[in-house]
A and B are shown apart, each in its own frame.
Chain A
């Protein structure tokens, strides 16, 4: 209970900080404060919260589906697959409306995630570090194809935006798709028990009456949709789905009916903190949130790997 209080208070503090800092000061500039918040600061804050929560949840789903806590969609090819879809639709139908592009990106992300899952079922499980490496290679190959096509089609500029998650371009009217993540999070919460059961492995889950394949398919569809939403609106943010679920699991275990809200809260707070840090480091210039997170996240992950496991209790 105290964890929730601290978490909630911390998140509120971050939100207040995020609303108040930026290139233009809220108090001394000529701009109307209310207007500035409504058009720029609030959308930016909400986008960071939604993207962070979504990516952390996506991480948990993939980790349970492959029973390996060292993988996450952002480091196993899902964003690259979404980019491939985006490139494809941009080349075939440049004038397509946003939701069509979004749908194509999500379908491509689903195909990429499915491919990763197929690889995961085929490699031996004896060494848990093998799967993350396979994921990185899978992501690398897809990424190379993406870069090659973008280079050939002179679309490298787009690619840069998709690959580097950051929130400086987020203003009213350009991020609202991300609210879709709130709906997907609610869906995942309804599936929390089923996703926990996936983590027990196919045999145990099926013995308890779970339709294993259908649940995996549904979970990965949600993962693909979240990833595509984030890539399209703010760009890829790797490590979020790896670090946040691992920190939560370390202290609170894996019963998702209890922990899913904490995972979402943690992801939201972590990405918002990375964005705030990125705004402050070289004020008034900015460092992309993805860069900040990759540095901090990699550090935290190394600590997680090496710190002695703590006796956790749910």
Chain B
């Protein structure tokens, strides 16, 4: 459980988030939605311990995330940020391998190599593993970074717009994989994603947190939040729904 208690954030004098209280469940996918500039990425950074709240507390599995030792935090929470403008020349294999760094600190064991091989296979990167990341396409790069976060094997996986650069096949595959790994079981992980594709949230998310202007706008099971009424008020535009064999989708009317 990630408990967000009365969290606010100001960066360089401007207020980004105001008094947010929400709980992100350990089971299932939680989608963070909201208009541009609502503070979704900032909230994700706070949950990952990459930013420090100006007020309030974020507790991950009971522990204040800002007080965790760096390595402990990296073994509990993996986070993929949007800033992947990688300047350094690493191969895909090396990059994904660094996902294991919090576990081995530079001395990879057989188990680490296995997880990396699994990650490369899972994200269809095996043929690219010798390529430099900077020579990849946007979608391939996104997969490589997601594979790195996955290889961290943490109870929590936080992804900021993981679908942005993916083609429909890889987007669906990623969401299906995240969904499968977030359900109950010994390997279950809590997954939190920032998405703009509301239908990815409608099809795959279990829980939705909506932000607007730095404030909590709605918080609840996906089916209760992703309604024309709530979405209409959230985005200032009318929404309709359509029932498909895969489930109920929403569209801006």
Contact = CB atoms under 8 A, between A and B. Distances in A.
Give the interface SS of chain A, mostly helix, strand, loop or mixed.
loop
A207 B101 contact: no
* 6 closest A-B pairs by CB: A209-B74, A199-B88, A209-B102, A254-B88, A253-B89, A209-B71
A203 B106 contact: no
Contacts of B74: 207-209
B88 A200 contact: yes
Contacts of B81: 203-204, 207
Interface stretch (B91-99, B161-169, B229-237): B91-99
Interface residues of B, number: 36
A207 B85 CA distance: 16
A67 B48 CA distance: 22
Contacts of B90: 196, 253-255, 314
How extensive is the interface on chain A, given as a class? 20 to 34
Contacts of B75: 209
B98 A313 contact: no
Contacts of B130: 313-314
Contacts of B91: 253, 255, 313-314
A291 interface: no
A305 interface: no
Contacts, number: 86
A206 B88 contact: no
A69 B87 CA distance: 8
B136 to A, nearest CB: 12
A206 B106 contact: no
Contact of B89 (A67, A192, A249): A249
7 contacts: A128-B87, A193-B106, A200-B86, A209-B72, A313-B130, A314-B91, A314-B132
A67 B87 contact: yes
A64 interface: yes
A164 interface: no
Contacts of B105: 193
Contact of A196 (B49, B71, B72, B88): B88
Contact of B87 (A199, A211, A257, A311): A199
B135 interface: yes
A197 interface: yes
Interface in A113-142: 128
B113 interface: no
Nearest to A207: B79
A313 B149 CA distance: 23
B73 A209 contact: yes
A66 to B, nearest CB: 10
A311 B132 contact: yes
A255 B74 CA distance: 21
B161 to A, nearest CB: 14
B111 interface: no
Nearest to B93: A314
Contact of A208 (B45, B89, B102): B102
Which of A207, A208, A253, A257 has the largest count of B CB atoms less than 10 A from its CB?
Answer: A207
A311 B132 CA distance: 8
A69 B88 CA distance: 9
Contacts of B73: 209
A209 B78 CA distance: 10
A23 interface: no
Contacts of A161: none
A65 B59 CA distance: 31
A98 interface: no
A68 interface: yes
Contacts of B88: 64, 67, 196, 199-200, 254
Given A196-B88, A314-B130, 8 more contacts: A200-B88, A201-B85, A204-B84, A206-B50, A207-B48, A209-B73, A210-B70, A253-B94
B48 to A, nearest CB: 6
Nearest to A198: B88
Nearest to B105: A193
Interface string A173-213: 00000000000000000001100110111011011111100
Contacts of B102: 208-209
A68 B70 CA distance: 25
Which of A193, A200, A249 has the largest count of B CB atoms less than 10 A from its CB?
Answer: A200
Interface string B58-86: 00000000000011111101110101111
B98 A208 contact: yes
Contact of B132 (A207, A210, A313): A313
